[in-house]
Amino acid sequence: MSDFKVVTYSDKNHKIWNHFVQTSKNGTFLCHRDFMEYHQDRFKDQSFLIFKDKKLVALFPANIKNHIIYSHQGLTYGGLIVGKNATFKTIMKVFKSLLETIENLGFEELIIKPTPRIYHTHPSDEVDYLLFKLQAELIRKDLTLVIDTKDPIKISSSNRKRGLKKAHKNNLIIKEESDLDLFWNQILKPNLKEKHGVEPVHTLEEINYLKSKFPNNIRQFNVYNDNNIVAGTTIFETEKVAHAQYISANHTKQELGSLDLLFHHLIHDVYESKPYFDFGICSENGGKQINSGLQSWKESFGARSISHDVYSVLAKNHVNLNDILI
């Protein structure tokens, strides 16, 4: 009989789930139940906890859609969340037990989007190897632009340098704000509606709720010209990464250099000691095309590409893990 037990998440597991995320090597505050559940009405939760001899050793944030188990679709990433001391053998048995459980529940397919390694606090590529052994199919690949702050690429863009000079000439001011209303209502929402005809992924009420729950992880930086907001960014901060979740400026951004000043300040001052600064993805249409203008703009700050991958795994392929260890 297996020493591993897979349990479907329920509210009684709330405390131990969150504690495990905080002590894991590849989980972030996005996997905290308070973050996952802000939009629980949109997803049918099917998250799992995996125990070994009654000790919690892994989590899998997930939901059900069209009779498929997904790495939680309300999260940018997730996958199998494991403890810092977990060995390859343990993680292999955990994943095998998870797939066996999924198959026994009557599901044939698992869609998994592992946490990108820049977010790991310790090496955690065990699942990447297991996906190879499971003959997982790569079904989506997005590119995100990241600065390695330990060895940054020198900015050579004349546009960025000119923009920074304009910002100083115009006496722009950057402020960190606890209130997101101004940025949402005056900059972000009007921009998204005008340019793309869409709303932000998070409503103002949702992002304010999340900031109240995670005040040290969600930070808002605004740029002002004569006390008027002209640009801003919402940062999702984890132990290793500062991720620009939202970036937006009004029509004066070229004239004032507002975004140049903002990101120069964040990269070189606020997050100088953070290992990575993540500008976010530049891919569109299911990852199959690159927004070249967006990519070039982010690269002009010295950012370079890493991938966010999504895989499909057949639950029955858990048998492929039987012969790994020799």
CA atoms within 13 A on the CB side of 105: 19
Neighbouring-strand partners of residue 155:
none
Closest CA to 241 of 30, 20, 9: 30
DSSP 285-299: TTTTEE-HHHHHHHH
Give the model confidence (pLDDT) of 265-312 as tens digits: 999 999 999 999 999 999 999 999 999 999 999 999 999 999 999 999
Q: For the chain, first and last CA: distance in Å?
A: 21
Fold of 4-140+309-321: Aminopeptidase (3.40.630)
Give the model confidence (pLDDT) of 48-106 as tens digits: 999 999 999 999 999 999 999 999 999 999 999 999 999 999 999 999 999 999 999 99
| CB contact at 8 A, 90 and 84 | no
| CB contact at 8 A, 236 and 243 | yes
Instruction: Kindly indicate the confidence band of residue 152, based on its pLDDT and cuts at 50, 70 and 90.
Output: confident
Name the residue with tokens 């990108």: 116
Which residue would you say has higher pLDDT here, 3 or 236? 236
CATH number of this structure's domain 151-274: 3.40.630.30
Q: Distance between CA atoms of 56 and 116, rounded to whole angstroms? A: 23
In sequence order, what are the residues at sequence separation of 6 or more whose Cβ sits closer than 8 angstroms to the Cβ of residue 285?
none
CATH 3.40.630.30 positions along the chain are 4-140+309-321, 151-274
Q: Tell whether the torsion through CA atoms of 128, 61, 307 and 215 is positive or negative.
A: negative
Name the residue with tokens 């101004």: 182
Percent of the chain with pLDDT strictly greater than 70: 99
Neighbouring-strand partners of residue 62:
71
